[in-house]
A and B are shown apart, each in its own frame.
Chain A
């Protein structure tokens, strides 16, 4: 079974600084996809960024970028120039896509607080 581990339950950083959230996963498969989701206090689950395992290039979306290390099974999220609106729970998620009946598996989340 695939597992996703987020070892940082909570983090805080000053506004405008850069912060990196860690995620590791375990799989024996070669074809899979990784995601970071953001859950602000409003409870909505928002897709932040997506990475395809077969692509070596790290995904970026504006201030959000990932460091994908396939051999190490690591998928960290970097938030640059952090803003107050980045305060949220962040979930790393994994899905393998070989059989068509897979499920998105989430880590336990990291609560990120941006300090004014």
Chain B
């Protein structure tokens, strides 16, 4: 029983395409996140949602649009993909906004834009 599951695990696509990454958690957590890990392994938050409400929206290009149909799901849609979007994208969840117990991460989606 995977706690935070992301699909797909790998995604290879051409520049200009639109793609989505799906995330689901079965932990009953209220808060979900998207992080981007670049080629140097640096992890940076992109978005957070709490009970379907957008809480954090970092300086991310508006080609990236998160959607949370319910508190167990947080999907990431990316329009007009660029070479610089190539990275590993992690979904994560935590019991509450405070994050005091840390986050539970999915296994990541490696996006390669060619």
A102 and B98 in contact, given A43-B107, A43-B108 (Cβ under 8 angstroms): yes
Expressed in whole angstroms, the minimum distance between the Cβ of A100 and any Cβ of chain B is 4
- Which A residues are in CB contact (< 8 Å) with B55? 101
Interface string of A79-116 (1 = CB under 8 A from B): 00000000001010101010011111110110000000
What residues make up the interface of A, taking CB atoms closer than 8 Å to B?
33, 35, 37, 39, 42-45, 47, 50, 52, 89, 91, 93, 95, 97, 100-106, 108-109
- Which A residues are in CB contact (< 8 Å) with B98? 95, 97, 100, 102
Whether B56 and A35, one on each chain, are in contact in the complex, defined by CB atoms closer than 8 angstroms, is: no
- A-B residue pairs in contact (CB < 8 Å), sample of 14: A33-B100, A37-B102, A42-B107, A43-B107, A50-B102, A95-B99, A101-B56, A102-B98, A103-B33, A103-B45, A104-B33, A104-B99, A108-B42, A109-B41
Interface string of B85-112 (1 = CB under 8 A from A): 0001010100011111111110110100
Number of B interface residues in the complex (CB < 8 A)? 26
Q: How many pairs of residues, A versus B, come closer than 8 Å at their CB atoms?
A: 64
Whether A103 and B99, one on each chain, are in contact in the complex, defined by CB atoms closer than 8 angstroms, is: yes
- A39–B40 alpha-carbon span in the complex (Å): 13
- A47–B108 alpha-carbon span in the complex (Å): 15
- A89–B42 alpha-carbon span in the complex (Å): 11
- A108–B100 alpha-carbon span in the complex (Å): 21
- Which B residues are in CB contact (< 8 Å) with A44? 105, 107-108
A103 and B100 in contact, given A43-B107, A43-B108, A108-B40 (Cβ under 8 angstroms): no
Expressed in whole angstroms, the minimum distance between the Cβ of B7 and any Cβ of chain A is 14
Whether B45 and A108, one on each chain, are in contact in the complex, defined by CB atoms closer than 8 angstroms, is: no
- Which A residues are in CB contact (< 8 Å) with B68? none
Residue in chain A with minimal CB distance to B97: A100
Whether B56 and A104, one on each chain, are in contact in the complex, defined by CB atoms closer than 8 angstroms, is: no
- A106–B103 alpha-carbon span in the complex (Å): 12
- Which B residues are in CB contact (< 8 Å) with A100? 96-98
Indicate whether B12 reaches chain A with its CB closer than 8 angstroms: no
